[in-house]
A = this chain, B = another copy of it.
Amino acid sequence: MCKQIGHRISGSPQAARAVEWGKETLEKAGCDKVYLQEVMVPHWVRGEEQCHILDAKGNRYPLKLLSIGNSVGTGHTGIEAPVVLINNMDELERMNPSDIHGKIVFFNNYFDQTNINTFESYGPCVYYRWAAPSKAAKLGAIAVVIRSVSSAFDDAPHTGSLSYDKKSPAIPAIALSNLGADQLLHKLQTEKGVKMYIRNTCQMLPDVKSYNVVGEITGSEIPNEIITIGGHLDSWDIGEGAHDDGAGVVQSIEVLRTFKKLGIRPKRTIRAVLFMNEENGLRGGTKYAELAVANKENHLVAIESDAGGATPIGFSMTMSNTQRNKIKSWQHLLIPYGIYNLDGNGGGADLSPLHKKMGTPVMELYPDSQRYFDMHHSENDVFEKVHRRELCLGAIAMSAMVYLLSTYGL
């Protein structure tokens, strides 16, 4: 999937090929049933993109950039404007609109390196990617530049989704790498009259028909109780979507293959779902929940793997204390495999509609998070960065958890 198909943003020909690949791979894994769930997905395309710093003397300093996903473009001529440095949202809110109007706002927000669990740094930081463009547009900004949501000190920008607030104009938004952002920051701190030129031609095209891919092993004793496991097939349109979320996709398939290979017939039905459009719309996850409701399905629990393919250290979960305690009673069986952390909250984006609509208890595989945000949504998220043993350990942890849930319920 990483090397022969490559990156596979929703609506792209590669995403369509990934659907075919997923179907074939689930069939080869020996599933009792493999089928598709049709879903219309957004089709954002990146187009061309370039930017540079322009100092008061007219010198140009080109920077690597990635347009933020779902962003509008600048048009073919691009835009050139003075840059206003904003360190955080409080600072923006104290600004006079006349200081922002017609300018490019640079959100210089840093990924917090002090959390042991880097996912705790991701949330607060991603706000500047997701929501900040509209906040700046409200004050009259004509474009937004962010410091990438990244733990790496390198020259790779990281993309991701934004969402426009409908009350403000949709303005172009781009991400610089940490080193690129440092360069811009240095200019802004040491010189007057610093401008930027940005030109990108990204745009949202009409929705495209696509699919979730589903494979099942039918339960031997309680087939109507479903345990969903899953990851997402789509990726960003750079790199290879190896950790995000090739890892979760192959681990989900591997759980089914493991049961088949070992000849273990689960009591309950195990369903692997390869979701479409997690990255910039969540249409696949939403459709999955809608169909579950429409079909009056009985979902025992659902487990997502969408946090990278590193060594697993636990599962986060959103469920009742009674349910969590039941899972924690199995802790001694999991610790020899390095699964010690069953205390976190979470469940994964693709399962959130199922949890919301049906109240299904949800879980997510929790891998060691030290390296994930170095690569996430960047050109560095490639197959070579996934370690075979670590990836396998994740599949083993999921298989063990699914076996326990299938055998003993929740």
> Which A residues contact B (CB, under 8 angstroms)?
113, 116, 118, 151, 311, 313, 335-338, 340-341, 368, 370-371, 374, 387, 389-390, 393
Instruction: Please name 15 pairs of A and B residues whose Cβ atoms are closer than 8 Å in the assembled complex, sorted by A.
Output: A116-B336, A116-B338, A116-B393, A311-B368, A311-B370, A313-B338, A335-B340, A340-B340, A340-B341, A368-B368, A370-B387, A370-B390, A371-B389, A371-B390, A374-B387
A341 to B387, CA, bound (A): 22
CB distance from A178 to the nearest CB of B (A): 13
A151 to B392, CA, bound (A): 14
CB distance from A111 to the nearest CB of B (A): 11
CB distance from A366 to the nearest CB of B (A): 11
A336 to B313, CA, bound (A): 12
Q: Say how many copies of this protein the assembly contains.
A: 2
Contact partners of A338 in chain B: CB under 8 A: 116, 313, 368
CB distance from A156 to the nearest CB of B (A): 15
Contact partners of A389 in chain B: CB under 8 A: 113, 118, 151, 370-371
Among the interface residues A113, A151, A336, A389, which one has the most CB atoms of the partner chain B within 10 A?
A389
Contact partners of A393 in chain B: CB under 8 A: 116, 370
CB distance from A322 to the nearest CB of B (A): 23
CB distance from A123 to the nearest CB of B (A): 18
Contact partners of A151 in chain B: CB under 8 A: 389
Q: Is the CB of A116 within 8 A of B371?
A: no
CB distance from A90 to the nearest CB of B (A): 28
Contact partners of A341 in chain B: CB under 8 A: 340
Per CB-CB distance, the 8 closest pairs between chain A and chain B, nearest first, are A340-B340, A370-B389, A370-B390, A311-B368, A311-B370, A371-B387, A116-B337, A370-B387
CB distance from A298 to the nearest CB of B (A): 35
CB distance from A242 to the nearest CB of B (A): 16
A48 to B298, CA, bound (A): 68
CB distance from A153 to the nearest CB of B (A): 8
A332 to B341, CA, bound (A): 12
Contact partners of A118 in chain B: CB under 8 A: 389
A299 to B370, CA, bound (A): 35
A175 to B104, CA, bound (A): 59
Question: A313's closest neighbor in chain B, by CB?
Answer: B338
CB distance from A183 to the nearest CB of B (A): 21
Contact partners of A371 in chain B: CB under 8 A: 387, 389-390
Contact partners of A311 in chain B: CB under 8 A: 311, 368, 370
Contact partners of A336 in chain B: CB under 8 A: 116
A118 to B370, CA, bound (A): 20
Contact partners of A374 in chain B: CB under 8 A: 387
Contact partners of A390 in chain B: CB under 8 A: 370-371
CB distance from A304 to the nearest CB of B (A): 22
